[in-house]
A and B are shown apart, each in its own frame.
Chain A
Amino acid sequence: MSDIHALSGAYALDALDDAERIQFEQHLATCHDCRAEVRSFTETAALIAATEAETPPPSLRDSVLSGISSIRPLPPETPSPDAPADPAAEVAPVTPLWRRTGPLLVAASVALILVGLGIFGFTSLRNDGSTTTNLADQVLHASDAMKVTEPLAGGGQLTIVRSESLGRAVMLGQDVPAPAAGKTYQLWLQQPGEGMVSAGLMPDASTPTVLTGDAATATAAAVSVEPAAGSARPTSDPVALFPLQATAENGAT
């Protein structure tokens, strides 16, 4: 552990295995020097890529440009004007980052969007008709629903169901112990280049909870125990971590 700073270069080049990456990201959350170093390495790596430049076939340009025309860009992540200030969210720098956050985005700008926003705060993100109130049912019964279950160390299990076509995921617990007083379960989606982004709170694990945010682009989902008001970034190790296959072209149907 004393040597953990030495992993910064390998981290910036995606040359850590998963366990090392998780460990290093936890360190990164508390080490300003390493964050600065990783960022400078990422910029350096981008320059190295110039040595391999190769113009792609024109067909790729056509696919990309026709692909974007049917994808709605996500809005910027800014605090909701309605959201109350949250002291817990201000302490983001002490929080661990479990997975790749994209070194550029390590310092939390992930905003306080979780605070004060219910799970329907994001229903307008996608123009796919998901504004219906019973979104959880839609996801659970979607024809492309995929289910992953993880047992919890403390007993019980958590199941995530994701529909790529809806771009949504639902978390549901069975026999999950209630969090300690003053704590809550918080949901996270790991988004490419952004790391773990809050996907809302799950005060009651026995009720299906829709994760806020785009589950189609997410590469992982996680659940952690957080202060009751929620956190901007995870402040504890996940009780469950679900790898997801990102499907960027979702929505392009």
Chain B
Amino acid sequence: MTHLRSVPSDPPPDRGGSVGAHLADLLKRAGRGDEAAFAEWYDATSARAFGLAVRVLRDRAQAEEVTQEAYLDCWRHSARFDPAKGSALSWLLTIVHRKAVDRVRSAEAAGRRDEAYSQREQTVDHDSTAEAATASLEASRVRTALADLTVKQREAVELAFLGGYTHTEVARMLDLPIGTAKTRIRDGLIRLRDALSVGEVAEA
């Protein structure tokens, strides 16, 4: 199982592994009102939550609001998190992403969305938290996997997830026929998933 490999190149999938189990356990304790456990959970996840919100919203103040809302929702619903249905991290990030996308789209509906897709590469702030170290290990693994996608797949996945655009908007931005972007997104995710050894999540 534990071959002597260099970790960043091919770490074992950690979904459901010890890190994931620890996060799920913290959340379970939070559900019983354990604020210290929740604080630890925050410290272990907030860089990814906040970074995702910043990336989608492109506005740090709004990203802070969204991140805070998401954490308060998580606290309130922590006893209802079911580890059989997915990881604690993806639960959090799903909520953050949904809130960020809702904001972006309602702002867009109100005619306030700034400019189209421009920000390809974004440098991540250097910091020294334990989560940042974990995330940066993971990030290098993910970047490698992303680099293995076709350009169109990668663009489509990034515009949809990090840009917060619908697949129809993605199709227009990439000059694709409407039905094509959703296929690119799905194909890209399948390839990423398999490259990152994300296991199937057991059906409850």
Residues of chain A touching chain B, judged by Cβ–Cβ distance below 8 Å, are: 3, 6-10, 12-17, 32, 35-36, 39-57, 60-61, 63-65, 67-69, 71-77, 100, 102-107, 109, 191-194, 214, 217, 246, 248-249, 251-252
Judging by beta carbons under 8 Å apart, are A107 and B85 in contact?
yes
With A40-B200, A45-B97, A64-B68 as known contacts, state yes or no: A52 contacts B189, CB within 8 Å. Answer: no
Tell which of A64, A71, A102, A109 has the most Cβ of chain B within 10 Å. Answer: A64
Query: Is B162 touching A48 in the complex (CB atoms < 8 A)?
Result: yes
- In the complex, whether B192 has a CB less than 8 A from a CB of chain A is yes
Q: A13-B157, A32-B203, A104-B91 are in contact. Are A54 and B51 (CB under 8 A)?
A: yes
Q: Determine the interface band of chain B, counting residues with CB < 8 A from chain A.
A: 35 or more
Task: Please give, as numbers and ranges, the residues of chain B lying within 8 Å of A60 by CB-CB distance.
Answer: 46, 50, 64, 67-68
Which of B137-179 touch A at CB < 8 Å? 138-139, 141-143, 146, 157, 160-162, 164-168, 170, 179
For residue B123, give the distance in angstroms from its CB to the closest CB of chain A. 10
Q: Does B21 contact A (CB under 8 A)?
A: no
Quick check: is B22 within 8 A (CB to CB) of the other chain?
no
Q: Is the interface of B mostly helix, strand, loop or mixed?
A: helix
Q: How far is the CA of A67 from the CA of B70 in the complex (A)?
A: 12
Distance in Å: Cβ of A250 to nearest Cβ of chain B: 9
| Structural contact, B76 and A54, CB atoms closer than 8 A | no
Query: Is the beta-carbon distance between A40 and B72 smaller than 8 angstroms?
Result: no
A65 pairs with B157, CB closer than 8 A: no
- CA A76 to CA B127, docked complex, whole Å: 36
Q: Does the CB pair A40–B124 fall under 8 Å? A: no
B129 lies within 8 A of chain A by Cβ: yes
The answer to whether A194 touches B64 (Cβ under 8 A) is: no
The 8 closest A-B pairs by CB, nearest first: A9-B186, A104-B86, A53-B135, A54-B51, A56-B50, A46-B90, A15-B160, A50-B138
Give min CB distance, A74 to chain B, whole Å.
Answer: 6
CB-defined contacts of A248 to chain B, threshold 8 Å = 68-70, 72-73, 76
Give the distance in Å from the alpha carbon of A248 to the alpha carbon of B68 in the complex: 9
Q: When chains A and B are docked, how far (Å) is the Cα of A10 from the Cα of B183?
A: 9
26 interchain pairs, CB-CB under 8 A = A6-B179, A7-B167, A10-B167, A10-B186, A15-B161, A17-B168, A40-B201, A42-B90, A44-B192, A45-B161, A45-B189, A49-B52, A49-B97, A53-B48, A54-B54, A55-B47, A56-B50, A60-B46, A60-B64, A67-B68, A67-B72, A77-B80, A193-B91, A214-B76, A249-B68, A249-B72
Q: Which residues of A contact B138 (CB under 8 A)?
A: 47, 50
Output the nearest chain A residue to B38 by Cβ-Cβ distance: A68
A100 to B95: give the CA distance in the assembly, Å.
Answer: 10
**Residues B186 and A193 in contact, CB atoms below 8 Å apart:** no
From B50, B167, B170, B182, contact of A54 by CB (8 A): B50
A residues less than 8 Å from B179 (CB atoms): 3, 6
Nearest-CB distance from A24 to chain B (Å)? 10
Residues of A within 8 A of B162 (CB): 48, 52
Contacting residues, chain A, for B50 (C-beta < 8 A): 54-56, 60
